[in-house]
Every structure is written in structure tokens, then in C-alpha cells.
């Protein structure tokens, strides 16, 4: 590959962000589906559809979402993982998550994947080109390890 192509490819990678997070096939609006209610926890209300994630990222005006979907076999792979971990070390696995994934049978739960491309900043936009897109409402924990904090202003 010519040097110019490599440079362009590296530049493109530096402007992309990918996110994979527990997600749902349809928005639940904070209500557990009846078949999952016995295992549902309030933290599960943060799971959203790929469409929800697309709207969140695009609403910033700083990114174009190139892809937003559910990972193929994401829920099945998550269940297989939980079962392996539970068999190897029950203290580290999550019986609640495994039971919920079994009960769901790939109807509602999965992993939402989004791939975003950062838009180039316009002259006078207030960003020197080193800004990073951070989800709305997120405030970093100053006590978190450095590697877990967002890199603002880099």
C-alpha cells in the first residue's frame, strides 16, 4: 500500500469511535418485559436500541453514525460466556444475567453496536480539532483510574 493510502487510513481511524453495549431490539421505556421481570434490575433500564444510540450520537452534531445495529448472535454469545464463567468460578459469574438471557431466548436482549465518524470541526467552532465526542450527561469520576477517564482536550 502506498504511503499516502496508509496515512489516509490512519487519519480515518483516528476519527472513528466504536461502541458495543448491552442493548435491546425495541425500546422498553424503563419497563421490564414481562418475561424478564423476575431478573430485571434498575441498571438494565440503561439498555437501549441501536436506533436510540444513533439518535444520541447524531444529536451532538459532532458525529455521523456509520453503523447502528445489534451484533449478530450477541445474546447467544453472552449466554455462552456466562455459562462458561459460572461453571469455572460461580463467584465471578452472574446467575441473574444467565437466567435472564435464557428466559429471553433472543427475543429482546442483545448487544447494540455503533460506529461513529467524527465530523471535521469548522473554523470558529470552539474546538481546536482535539475534542473528543463524549455522551451527553456524562461527568468523569475524578477518582477513577486515569485509563478509564475520557481524554478531554487531547
The domain spans of the chain are 16-123
Average pLDDT over residues 41-46: 92
Predicted TM-score of the model (pTM): 0.67
More confident residue, 118 or 89: 89
Local structure of 53: helix, strand or coil = helix
Is residue 38 a contact partner of residue 137, using CB atoms and an 8 Å limit?
A: no
Q: How far, in Å, CA of 146 to CA of 33, rounded?
A: 37
| Predicted local distance difference test score (pLDDT) of residue 119 | 77
Amino acid at each position: 500500500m502506498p504511503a499516502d493510502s496508509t496515512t489516509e487510513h490512519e487519519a480515518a481511524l483516528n476519527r472513528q469511535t466504536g461502541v458495543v453495549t448491552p442493548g435491546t431490539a425495541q425500546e422498553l421505556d424503563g419497563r421490564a418485559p414481562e418475561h424478564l421481570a423476575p431478573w430485571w434490575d434498575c441498571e438494565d433500564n440503561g439498555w437501549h436500541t441501536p436506533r436510540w444510540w444513533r439518535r444520541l450520537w447524531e444529536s451532538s452534531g459532532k458525529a455521523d453514525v456509520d453503523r447502528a445495529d445489534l451484533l449478530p448472535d450477541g445474546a447467544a454469545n453472552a449466554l455462552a460466556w456466562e455459562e462458561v464463567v459460572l461453571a469455572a468460578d460461580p463467584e465471578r459469574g452472574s446467575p441473574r444475567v444467565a437466567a435472564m438471557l435464557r428466559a429471553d431466548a433472543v427475543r429482546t436482549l442483545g448487544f447494540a453496536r455503533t460506529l461513529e465518524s467524527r465530523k471535521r470541526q469548522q473554523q470558529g467552532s470552539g474546538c481546536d480539532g482535539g475534542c473528543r465526542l463524549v455522551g451527553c450527561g456524562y461527568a468523569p469520576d475524578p477518582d477513577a483510574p486515569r485509563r478509564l477517564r475520557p481524554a478531554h482536550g487531547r
